[in-house]
Structure 1
Amino acid sequence: PFLELVNAIKAALTPTPTPPPASGSPMAVPAKFASEATECSGFLLQVNLYIQMQPQQFPSEKSKVAFLTSLLTGKALQWAKAIWNANNPIINSYDLCLAQLPVHSTSDQLFRLRQGSTEVNEYTLHFRTLAAASGWNEIALLGAYRQGLNPEIRAAMAIYDDSIGLESFLQRTTRVAQQLAACQPTVTAPQSASVVASSPVPEPMQVDSTRLSRSERNRRISQGLCLYCGQPGHLLRNCPIRPPRPVVSTILSDIETAKLTLLSATLHTSNRSLPVSALIDSGSSGNFISTKCLKELHLPRHRHHQIYSVTTIQGKPLGRGVVRYSSPFITLQIGLFHHEDLRFLVLEDSTVDIILGRPWLQVHQPEIRWDPCDIIRWSQKCSTQCMSLLPHPRSIHTTVASTQIESPEPVFMPEIPAEYRAYQDVFSKLAATQLPPHRPWDCAIDLLPGAQLPKGRIYPLSIPQRQAMENYITEALNQGFIRPSTSPAASSFFFVGKKDGGLRPCIDYRQLNSQIIQQPYPLPLVPAALEELRGSQVFTKLDLRSAYNLVRIREGDEWKTAFIAPTGHYEYLVMPYGLSVSPSVFQTFMNEVFREFLHRFVVVYIDDILIYSRNMAEHRQHVQQVLQKLRQHQLYLKLEKCEFHKSSVQFLGYNINSEGVLMDQGKVDAIQNWPQPDSIKALQRFLGFANFYRRFIKDYSSIIAPLTSLLRGKPRHLTWDPAAHEAFQHIKKLFSTAPLLHHPDPNLPFTVEADASTTGVGAVLSQAVGESSILHPCAFSRKLSPAEQNYDVGNRELLAIKLALEEWRHWLEGAVHPFTIITDHKNLQYLRDAKRLNPRQARWALFFTRFRFTITYRPGSKNIPADALSRQTSADLHTDSEPIIPPHLI
């Protein structure tokens, strides 16, 4: 193929092998081109000029392409070989060939550009060349330049943010690099060390004068001899052969110019804690502590093995200018969770508490926000070595109260079962405080057309609230969950009290929620979900930590979550609590994560996960599969709220075991002790609480009708009457005797008992369990609408049956066995003779054809479970030729 290409090029050029130039001066053949972006424009200019000035050489488009191909090398030539071998149509079009000529893009080269072993000046020159052709904005260019610098220079330049501009940053980088080069090496070994190795005469003294014996030292002092060399005529400080002290320098001109780099920290010993200001100095060769801090901590100082001179970059002494001592190990705490044991060099007469220099920065690689100085994010190494799950005891009080930002772990943590210790990272509280990645299920906030942005207000805060607010904002910034905002939106920030007396931070998103396009994704129906547990013997309950904060806000929507607080204007990068779309977004996310496990051995309701299995061996595999999914998607669990390998578990307000579902005893006790409501709100709260368990109570709607009637017409005051009092006491009694709801078994026949009254309908779904003939019921009830209350008795009975079949359609439609509907004799007589009289009944008849059932009767005196009411059939009904229910089913 290559020879064919060569022949094609020769053939294209043969008509005019060496023609004279058409006009003007002779043209030189352009140099070879290998696809470098910086050379491309010049190369093409030369080629085009050559072709224009020698038109007789290029009678066809193909000859121009052949000439261009002859000048290519490297990857560009490989591309040309491919198109010639394939006889690609572009070989017949010079312009099309130019358009597709492979060129290493300037953007790619900027991304890959690194200083490496070159000098900063050379690196900057190369950068300027690429930048001129890139078309990037100044912020992007500055980020690329900063990223390409060598680590020590990049660390030194970290004190400058992007606001100083690209040109200023480039110039300052050059000056800083020169300053660093001037003071390298920053810590040097004494020159005498090399002299000792090559000299047969032992050196009279090393740097530390205490290595002289006491008698020798006294002798030299009494005779006026030098303490270093032992010779007369000069003192130790002027000894001509004494090697210079190692120099520890700081890049800062003086401490006062570094106010923006002061970071709040705490030093801890076994019995004391001391808040300090830490100076972040990327040019310092060491970590220093002031003598004042050592005294306040009641710590000793130890003579260091070497004496250092400490100067600024201008050569001025820092403090006393000499370091002779080091500290013992001290616990340094930054934020709530970052702890480390650190030894410092002791700096006398220092005006700053501690200095964290380049050695500390190189170890921890923190991401720093410089104005005001704060650590935004720690390195991955810190996540495993420095970030403690148990904050120092003296720092625990700073987490006043917050649901979004986790409080410290309790001192006594439950133990992870041995089978799941390999997944210990899934239970990491620290990992849950890291900014999660963007995923396909990020929280999207789509606003209605013409939406009005929220304009919140700043609420006055008490001293405890202000402290809690500052702690919350600081932690959220450190974790990367929020950032300063310039958004035109601003929701309000305030606190509400918690039951334990703490404070819960809240963002008032009501106005924003009213402007959001709501997502229609439904939450699971809890009763239906629990029906999947049939046959399960072992249960594990898992609870996600900081659930909503594990989901990112869709990129570009962060500004819509902005809120204002006394300390500033911020916006969320993670999904906050209080957004109306949060539950549906998180449920969508969880369903996608566990899609292959749902309806098999996992039930998920937002952040609550229930794993169910038939035996222990199967259950361990199921739990491990779930933990692996959580790890894969970077989701984390709250260990203290997880329960493993249980035969009975509390889940979503129910007590679940291998036999069935019970009401949570704690909630039953709450209903038993509920005082009689004395206001409309109090009655609404009781009914809302009781409605949760309505399926345990037969004819629930009819029983509470006297209570719900008190709310009719939106009254301003509650008028309590004897009927309401009786209903209130009756429903409380029924809650104390509610039955166990067994898990339905589709392989066993069902029984439906339906009943209707003038105010409501009720039904019971039952199933015999085991060899016993006892029916285990599940209740359904509904209050009749005003129009339905006008139905005659027979139509209300028929409506009760229809509503019962709709409620349990997922079990009754397509059931293995025909099910039985029980009613009393009068209803049976009506159903046998009833005809389709109107369109509504015609629709009912069509609905009944979807089920296989038989209707039987139980005399009213024996129909205790259904509690049938007396019925009366209207006599003035018109008949039709076709019955509502076929006679053979009755």
Structure 2
Amino acid sequence: MIDSGATSCFIHPLLVETYRLPTYLHPIPKKLRVIDGQEIDSGQITHFTRFKCTIGNHTKELECHISNIGNHQLVLGMSWLKKHNPQISWEKHTLVFNSLHCSNNCLPAPAVLELKAVEEIPTPYQEFSRVFPEEESSKLPPHRPYDIAIDLGPREDAELKETIEKQLKAGLIQPSKSPMASPILFVKKKNGKLRMCVDYRRLNSMTKKNVYPLPLPQNLIEKLQGAKIFSKFDLKAGYNLVQIKEGDKWKTAFKTKYGLFEYLVMPFGLTNAPAVFQDMMNEIFQDLLDVYVIIYLDNILVFSLNEKDHKAHVQEVLKRLQDNDLFCNIKKCHFHVKKIDYLGFIILESGIEVDQSKVTDAMNWSTPKNVKNIQEFLGFVNFYRQFIPNFGNMAQPLYNLLKKDSVWKWDLAEQQSFEGLKKCLTSAPLLLQPDTTRQFYVECNASDYATGAILSQRNSEGKLAPVAYLSKSLSPAKKNYNIFDKELLAVIRAFKEWRHLLEGSELPVQVLTDHKNLEYFSTSQSLNKRQIRWANFLVDYNFQIIYRPGAQNKKADILSRRYNLVPLEGGVENQVLLKPELFIASITPDQEINDLIGEAIYEDDCLKEILHKLQNKEKVLDWELREGLLWFQRKIFVPKDDTIRNLILESRHDALAAGHPGQARTLELVSRSYYWPSLKKFVNSYVSHCKTCIRSKPTNQLPVGLLKPLQIPERPWEDIAYDMIVGLPVSEGFDAILTVID
């Protein structure tokens, strides 16, 4: 706006923020008064800005005060008008910059600025003035033959009407006047019928999450030790058996063609619904859980050793369901059976199998076309990885496609991995149900590329039968481990994977390995830092390492080897035969340290949000996740773990090749590769307390003189020595002794 009544030029703060204009502070804040002499409500003007302003061909640097000037973004006042003195045509609504100042400073030649694109509608078209409204139309358009239709199929319409009528009659929903509402959608059930669902994604994004943990299906199955008879109960509309808290019902509103409704009971789709429901079920069956009942949400499984006990167990479960007004779907319930499907597994007296309906789904899985397809497939087969002996190695080509900055490339190796995983599910072995009262056997092996392990127990025939399989590939860092450490890593991985079964075992776990030197690990007095750390981990376990020749250890050996992991064009890779610490030319055993950092970052609560974003491919300024490490400004970020930080300082300061440098040099060596908050303070403290440095540090004081004996005194009490003995037990009110020697 051009305002001849304004003494200066003004700009709205929103415009400054939008274009990120530079701002400057007024030495003395200025007061702004309107035409009647009153000060403006927005207060004093404290800042101004400078920028180049172009009007047509007219360009000049402009200085404006920053102030809230209402609906106008820019006001050009008298200070601008006096300097540029434009010729204004009130009739044509134009400005002409033809002053001497503009000719010399602003314009290559006189220019004209059109203030309006079109002054008026040309005369021949005046009758169509309604086509050119000055303001946007505020009324609805008329109905036309082209009105868009959003038709639901007859099935959807019928299901929607039936569901609403049924839920209204049952008192599950009621008409609503909520100011917000969620849309609905339909999903197909197993029997082919449709189910109406409410899309609560927007509501869930604003809801504070309930962190009550859901049980892991695999852990639940492991509670069925020795069970021979089963009954399963499926709650009918389980979530609808929990009421919505008063005051929160309006938040569940959903909109349909039949009106707006809200739930009185907990619907499917709410983010906290599973946690709330699991909490309720665990509370009701608290004393029965893991004794003869396991529960996953609305699926209840009762297990027993014999028919007599099972009848009593089922009666107790049904009584509690009845007392708490919880109802079951009889069509989905099973009573007194010896084979049952539960959470995707087939459970028998003799063990656990893969549900064949899931195998059919896997065999019909089409070849992945993108990363998302890979994630979906791996998520499915990963659920059954305990049944797949070579899972880690077999799935490696597919996991490589998920790496950051990985180029999509579907070749023979990826296709073989995909088909191999599907085939493994069709021939998945029967797994024994673990029994913690009996002895466990862990068969371990390591190759140059992976580690493998089998958890076993003896079956009814006295033969070793598998309980679970484990196979994991080695990272580039771990491939550099020497042979002993690779074999020991296989043991460590197995104990970590099956910790809940092996820890606290009364009978010693028999660790079977084809690496004879491992037998002496428990009694060895010479361990490197990595082995010391692993030894501390194994202290909690009762185990015995037993050597078994390679010819007898073929099962575990297969898990650690696969053709697609063996290097091509050059044969076998170089192996590390000497321990890393024997190479003194290197200052830093960084690989070992980086392995520790890679594990510790996931245990630091302060890093969880950053890691979550990076794992979801979100960009975080200055941060990145690669090679299993968290990087900050191109340096490895070290989490809050003094053990790891001290190891880094040892490698940069104490190591033989480091030579105990001073504070500045040590800081420079550490900061080349690593970063953590207060790094300088930590380094300075470490160096200043280094005992070797303290002993070797030269002194700036004069040398201490020779000790001289005292002269022989000529009389008593001429030279005396005294001392205090303190901290004694109190005796007659005293706890110290003063000794004086003449």
Query: Alpha-carbon deviations, 1:732-787, whole Å to 9, x = none?
Result: 33323322111222332211122345554332101112342333341123455565
Report the counterpart of residue 877 of structure 1 in structure 2: 580
Of 834, 837, 860, the match for 2:528: 837
Residue 374 (structure 2) aligned to one of 683, 688, 705: 683
Name the residue aligned to 1:823: 513
**1:491 matched to 2:186:** no
- In the aligned structure 1, how far is the partner of 2:213 from the partner of 2:479? 31
2:349 matches 1:646: no
Contact 1:701/1:782, CA 8 A, preserved across alignment: yes
2:342 maps to a residue whose letter is F
- Corresponding residue of 2:426: 736
* Deviation of 1:679 (Å): 4.0
Letter in 1 for 2:545: I
Residues 206-221 of structure 1: pairs in structure 2 closer than 5 A? none
Change beyond 3 A, Cα 1:827–1:779: farther
Q: Which runs of structure 2 are paired with 1:144-223 in the superposition (5 Å)?
A: none
- Displacement of 1:806 in angstroms is 1.8
Distance 2:543 2:302 in 1: 35
> Which TM-score applies when normalising by structure 1?
0.44
The structure-2 alpha-carbon separation of the partners of 1:632 and 1:790, relative to structure 1 and needing over 3 Å to count, comes to farther
Partner of 2:283: 592
Which shifted more, 552-561 or 758-767? 758-767
Equivalent of 1:697, from 388, 391, 398?
A: 388
Q: Is residue 314 of structure 2 the alignment partner of residue 623 of structure 1?
A: yes
Q: What's the TM-score, normalizing by structure 2?
A: 0.53
For 2:556, the equivalent position in structure 1 comes to 866
Matched, 1:635 2:338: no
| 1:715 Cα deviation after fit | 6.1
Aligned residue runs from structure 1 range 225-624, under 5 A: 460-462=150-152, 464=154, 465-497=156-188, 502-624=193-315
1:498 and 1:609 mapped to 2: Cα distance? Answer: 20
Between the aligned partners of 1:504 and 1:492, the Cα distance in structure 2 is 14
The counterpart of 1:852, out of the listed 542, 546, 549, is 542
3-state SS of 2:470 partner: strand
- The residue type equivalent to 1:877 in the other structure is P
Gapped runs of 5+ residues in structure 1? 1-457, 880-890
After TM superposition, list the pairs within 5 Å mapping 1:13-162 onto structure 2: none
Q: Deviations over 1:182-227 (max 9, x none)?
A: xxxxxxxxxxxxxxxxxxxxxxxxxxxxxxxxxxxxxxxxxxxxxx
Which residue in 2 is equivalent to 1:727? 417
> Cα 1:467–1:776, aligned 2, differ >3 Å: closer, same or farther?
closer
How far apart in 1 are the matches of 2:471 and 2:538?
Answer: 20
Q: What residue number does 1:753 align with?
A: 443
Aligned-residue identity in percent = 43
Change (3 A) 1:761 1:485: farther
Q: Deviations over 1:789-835 (max 9, x none)?
A: 55454434333212211222222122121111122226638958694
Counterpart AA for 1:809: R
Give 3-state SS (helix, strand or coil) of 1:539's partner: strand
2:506–2:542 contact (8 Å) kept in structure 1? no
SS of alignment partner, residue 720 of structure 1? coil
Q: Check whether the contact 2:400–2:406 (CA below 8 A) recurs between aligned residues.
A: no
Question: How far apart in 1 are the matches of 2:556 and 2:404?
Answer: 31
Take 1:608 and 1:664, find their aligned partners in 2: how far apart are those partners? Answer: 16
- Pair 642,854 (structure 1): closer, same or farther in 2 beyond 3 Å: same
1:751/1:766 contact within 8 Å kept: yes
- Asked if the contact 1:830/1:873 (under 8 Å) is kept, the reply is no
Counterparts of 2:476 and 2:267, CA distance in 1: 42
Match of 1:712 among 386, 403, 410: 403
The equivalent position to 2:488 in structure 1, one of 774, 777, 798, is 798
CA contact (8 A) 2:487 2:515 kept: no
Counterpart residue identity of residue 518, structure 1:
K
Q: Which of 469, 492, 501 is residue 779 of structure 1 equivalent to?
A: 469
Instruction: Report the equivalent of 1:658.
Output: 349
Q: Counterpart amino acid of 1:479?
A: A
Q: SS where residue 486 of structure 1 aligns?
A: coil
Distance 1:855 1:766 in 2: 15
Cα distance change, pair 791–468 in 1 and its aligned pair in 2 (3 A): same
Given the superposition, is the C-alpha separation of residues 843 and 459 from structure 1 closer, same or farther in structure 2, using an over 3 Å criterion? farther
| Residue 467 of structure 2 corresponds to residue 762 of structure 1 | no
Give how far 1:686 is off. Answer: 2.4
Pairs aligned (count): 421
- What secondary structure, in the 3-state scheme, does the structure 2 residue paired with 1:532 have? coil
Is 1:535–1:658's contact at 8 Å kept on the other side of the alignment? yes
Unaligned runs of 5+ in 2: 1-147, 562-571, 583-742
**What is the distance in 2 between the residues matched to 1:619 and 1:500?**
31
One-letter amino acid matched to 1:484: P
Q: Does 1:809 align with 2:512?
A: no
What is the Cα deviation at residue 609 of structure 1? 0.7
- In structure 2, relative to structure 1, the CA distance for the partners of 1:628 and 1:499 (3 Å cut) is closer
Specify the code of the residue in structure 2 equivalent to 1:726.
Q
SS in 2 for 1:487: coil
Cα-Cα RMSD? 2.9
Question: What's the secondary structure of 1:820's corresponding residue?
Answer: strand
Using the TM superposition, give the Cα deviation of residue 703 of structure 1 relative to its aligned residue in structure 2, in angstroms: 1.3
Q: Answer yes or no: is the 8 Å Cα contact 2:519–2:545 preserved in 1.
A: no
The amino acid of 1:737's aligned partner reads S
Q: Which amino acid in 2 is paired with 1:662?
A: E
* SS of structure 1 residue aligned to 2:341: strand
Per-residue deviation, 1:588? 0.6
One-letter amino acid matched to 1:668:
V
State the Cα distance separating 1:518 from its structure 2 match.
0.9
User: Does the 8 Å contact 1:751/1:819 carry over to 2?
Assistant: yes
Separation (CA, whole Å) in 2 of partners of 1:635 and 1:592: 13
Structure with greater helix share of residues: 1
Secondary structure of 2:185 counterpart: strand
Partner secondary structure for residue 634 of structure 1 = coil
CA distance in 2, matches of 1:705, 1:472: 46
Letter in 2 for 1:629: R
State the SS of the aligned residue for 2:222. Answer: helix
Q: Secondary structure at the match of 1:742?
A: coil
1:798–1:876 distance in 2 versus 1, CA, 3 Å: closer
Q: 1:538·1:614 contact (CA, 8 Å) conserved in 2?
A: yes
Any idea what SS the aligned residue of 2:316 has? helix
- Alignment check: 8 A CA contact 1:755 1:762 kept: yes
- For residues 534 and 878 of structure 1, the distance between their equivalents in structure 2, rounded to whole angstroms, comes to 46
Q: Are the structure 2 counterparts of residues 860 and 745 from structure 1 closer, same or farther at C-alpha, using a change threshold of 3 Å?
A: same
Secondary structure at the aligned position of 2:401 is classed as: helix
